[in-house]
Amino acid sequence: MSELLKKDEMKPGGIGQGGSMERRYTGSWRTFVPITDFETCIQCLACWIVCPDSAIPVEDGERRETNMHHCKGCGICAVECPVDAITMVREGEEDDE
């Protein structure tokens, strides 16, 4: 985790800045990693709208690589993808695929 705000940097109410939780690393929670096959993906965004961890970035209407800093490996995206473009692989064994 990155440096916490110092006392005099905080605003009244205690919270430094909205969205600051983004700096926290929750990728270490994963047991399985979602691997996306972009050849198969039809860019329907069904995965994006149901990810609990805001870990599927979308740019110009298309999803990009999963944000591994935040993804907790729940596997919802893989279950919901209508064309099975996402596979869950045990962490550390991604290269064996």
Beta strand pairing status for 62-63 and 58-59?
antiparallel
Q: Quote the least distance from Cβ 1 to ligand SF4, whole Å.
A: 19
- Residue where the block lists tokens 């993808």: 81
Question: Of other proteins, ligand SF4, none, which one sits near residue 92, judging by CB under 5 to 8 A according to partner kind?
Answer: none
User: How big is the site for other proteins, counted in residues (CB under 8 A)?
Assistant: 44
Q: Choose among 20, 21, 31: nearest CA to 71.
A: 31
Residue whose token pair is 């800093």? 69
Residue reference for tokens 């909205």: 18
Which positions lie near ligand SF4, rule CB under 6 A?
34, 36, 41-47, 51, 53, 55-56, 63, 66, 71-77, 81, 83, 85-86
Nearest distance from C-beta of residue 60 to other proteins, angstroms: 8
CA distance 97 to 82: 21
Q: At its nearest, how many Å lie between ligand SF4 and the CB of residue 67?
A: 8
**For 94, which DSSP code?**
G
Q: Which residues bind other proteins (CB under 8 A)?
A: 4-5, 10, 14-26, 29-30, 44-46, 48-55, 58, 61, 67, 69-76, 78-80, 88
